[in-house]
Structure 1
């Protein structure tokens, strides 16, 4: 081994600032210029690494970025107590099966936490709400339980909150309405209950992606949703128990690209307002109880790629769809359409 090199307990060669090492197995190991020999970034993603993450990482007190994503690490999370300078923590797409420790709140400089697609258990620590600099919290696809901590509403810098595909219960807390910088809120594939969270109308200037699908939400979709969330690009409410009609105000959210209402208890007719959504690429309305003829304005949605209307009670003629030249998938099955196929 070259003079000045150190072999970590992970078996990775850490290269000294003068670059004198002969080999560099790690994609990126960044060193501090102000403090020679101090590691400030360790990025070892996508290398098929296995085993447990070494506890010695907790000694890298100058570390600002730790990215060990897309590997096969198992066991517990590394100790975080002394990583007070860390800003980016990405351990996503591994096989970690620990709980999220309260000690993560010692990392007060954290801006991004990505722990997606692991086997993490337990509850989301309420003290995460003390991380006032956090802009991204991504815990997608784990085994987390409990409720959404209301204290998350204290992180006013939050821009993306992804808690989808867990086992989270309870209602969506009103405190999330304080996150006025939020553009992406993904809470789908849990067991959340209650009505549509009207607190989200406070995010009218920022919210672009809202995913609440596959929960146990019920009652009506608020009639003013398109007026109060005009910047929506993706709205996914599938697999709940929503009832009533789709609000015509959604025609005012003209930036919508995805509109997903399948597998609910929705009724009524689809109005001509749908033709205002000229950027719409995916419209999923199957498995509800919609009635009446289809609006002729469907033919104006020239960007549509997928249109699924099956398993409803639509009737009457199928409107001309010849302008939908981008269409890749069309389902009209199990309705009451009559007349010729246009």
Structure 2
């Protein structure tokens, strides 16, 4: 017998009568309702209950300790409520529990060592609570545990070595805690892992050998204090889909073997101390969609083979020491974000930049780019943010910018642009920020552009200051 009333808009408090629905009730699902208040202790009478699903309600207060005495309860889901207090030690009595989801509440205290007595568990999720203290080693006594989620708490200390016994573990989420020490080498023995997330902790030292995790698909180790080089074993994990190591202190180069990860979709190595040039073998990664290598010390030119990365959607290479010119990327039709700013790139902006019609953000500022702004930029009809400031661009603002009707940010400051502001800029109705200062632009600001200031344009900076301003502007928010 089941009572399924999920997502039905029920309101009010949890009625005590729920506990008197009979011993034959096996499944009670009130998830997504608006019921609030504490759980009635009378639920202990539902001795035949195998599933209790109360996620996304407004449950408050503590979990009744007697709830864990229900002899047949296999699934307990109270994710996304307002539950407070500690986990009661009576969890040791829930020896039939197969799956327990208590994520996204405000549970406090330490995770009780009695959790190891829940020996039937295969999935345990306590993410996004306020647990403190050490990670209990007794979790290792749950022999068939496959998924363990403890992220988003305030757990401290090291990962206990006893967890190496969890040979069936496929997913381990310990991220967003305050764990310390080194990433343990014994993780290499958990060969069924497909998802390992240890990011946003305080792990230090080099990466251990994890080459035995051949089924690993997601490896998140970012925002720690890891040192050393990118290890060779990393490029042998052929099942890898996402690899995130950003915001550490890794050094050395990115080897050509990165292309061995033929299924990789996400590679984030930004905000480290990586050196060397970009591998031309990136062009051999047909599935790569998101590549972030920004804020390192990479040198050399942009390889032309980037044009072969046809799945690429976001490319972040800003904040490096890259030289040479910007290669043609017209084959990368799905590219939405291109950040090449704050390098030492020279030469012109490619004339065919307008063929990249999926672009939403284009940052080329703080380089040494020369030549004129290509008219084809007006074909980037999806563009929201265009930053070309602090280069050596010449010529006038092309009339074709009027095609950028969705543009919110246009930064052209600190170049050598000449001429006057085109009247057509008044058609850029979505503009919020316009920076034109530090150029040789002259004349009077068109009335149509000033009309934008009365609508959505919040920041408008031009060379309209001093005794002899180059630009006459009555609507600028700042004159320099």
Instruction: Tell me, yes or no, whether TM beats 0.5.
Output: yes
User: Where do 5+ consecutive residues of structure 2 fail to align?
Assistant: 1-12, 328-480
| 2:132 is equivalent to residue 148 of structure 1 | no
Q: 2:51 aligns with which of 49, 60, 65?
A: 65
Partner of 2:307: 322
Q: 1:293 aligns with which of 277, 298, 301?
A: 277
Kindly provide the CA deviation profile for residues 37-65 of structure 1, in whole angstroms up to 9, marking residues without a partner as x: 52111111011222222111122122111
Partner of 1:10: 14
Partner of 1:199: 186
Once the two structures are superposed, the pairs formed by residues 117-128 of structure 1 within 5 Å of their partners are: 117-128=104-115
Q: Is the 8 A contact 2:16 2:42 kept in 1?
A: no
Rg larger for: 2
| 2:236 is equivalent to residue 232 of structure 1 | no
Structure-1 separation of matches of 2:85 and 2:17: 27
Structure having greater relative contact order (Cα 8 Å, sep ≥ 6): 1
Q: 2:164 aligns with which of 173, 177, 183?
A: 177
| 2:127 is equivalent to residue 131 of structure 1 | no
- Count of aligned residue pairs for this structure pair: 313
Q: Is the 8 A contact 1:48 1:72 kept in 2?
A: yes
Kindly provide the CA deviation profile for residues 152-188 of structure 1, in whole angstroms up to 9, marking residues without a partner as x: 1111100000000000000001111100000000100
Partner of 1:188: 175
> Secondary structure at the residue paired with 2:251?
strand
Q: Is the 8 A contact 2:17 2:42 kept in 1?
A: no
Q: CA deviation at 1:71?
A: 1.1
Q: 1:255 aligns with which of 235, 239, 259?
A: 239
Structure-2 separation of matches of 1:141 and 1:98: 14
- Between 44-53 and 166-175, report the one with greater CA deviation: 44-53
| 2:252 is equivalent to residue 268 of structure 1 | yes
Q: 2:317 aligns with which of 332, 337, 342?
A: 332
Q: CA deviation at 1:252?
A: 1.1
| 2:201 is equivalent to residue 215 of structure 1 | yes
| 2:252 is equivalent to residue 245 of structure 1 | no
Q: 1:311 aligns with which of 290, 295, 299?
A: 295
RMSD (CA atoms): 1.7
Q: Is the 8 A contact 1:80 1:106 kept in 2?
A: no
User: Where do 5+ consecutive residues of structure 1 fail to align?
Assistant: 1-8, 17-30
CA 1:76–1:295 in structure 2 vs 1: closer, same or farther (change >3 Å)? same
Q: Return the TM-score normalized by structure 1.
A: 0.88
